Amino acid sequence: MPLDPLRTHPLSFADGAVHPNMVHLNQVIDHPNISVGDFTYANDFDPPQDWAARLAPYLYPGAPERLVIGRFCQIAHGVRFITASANHDMSGLTTYPFPIFDPAGIAGYKASFHGLPDTIIGHDVWIGHGALILPGAEVGSGVIIGAGAVVAGRVAPYTIVAGNPARPIRPRFPPATVAALLELGWWDWPAERIQAAIPVLLQPDLARLRALAP
């Protein structure tokens, strides 16, 4: 079946029925603070009505930070993005957020949260079951995040990370291959060119992929 970024449910069974638990996220999320690239999907055993709230439960419309997810990412069940607005003010003697319970004071409290870091996920990132992505994380393209990992800070492209806190397990490819893949940026090719390249993308043959580049 041809690649189609506009399909809400990208996976179909042999009888033609769609798999309701898997969605192209940019077809089901309409949130001013969330940007998701084409073909990025999420799968959930209990698919929600509101995918934005399921994945990024603390990111409210108009918050001072964004969640940006690239193209062709794969997001497993139970993944959560804890964005920066989830943090409590730590400058006082208590972290208890008294102002949020006071309608007269909430506006000033919200205004004190500014310059919060975005959470950025690159292209072709596989985020395993139950992983937790913390505020301000920057995950490079081609990264694999192990199940249950807790990710903070910057993860270099094409690195496998796992654990709590997530630590590099190993690079996926030698540095020269990583540099070449980032330069090729196959995820930005026209859909028909990516479709033709699928057999090559599924094999570790960089020379053949380079030959197919636009």
* Active centre residues (catalytic): 88
How far apart, in Å, are the Cα atoms of 197 and each of 45, 181, 208?
Answer: 31, 14, 9
Write the CB contacts of 129 (distance below 8 Å, at least 6 apart in sequence): 76, 77, 78, 79, 147, 148
SS3 153: coil
Q: In whole angstroms, what is the distance from residue 118 CA to residue 188 CA?
A: 22
Tokens matching residue 100? 């949020």
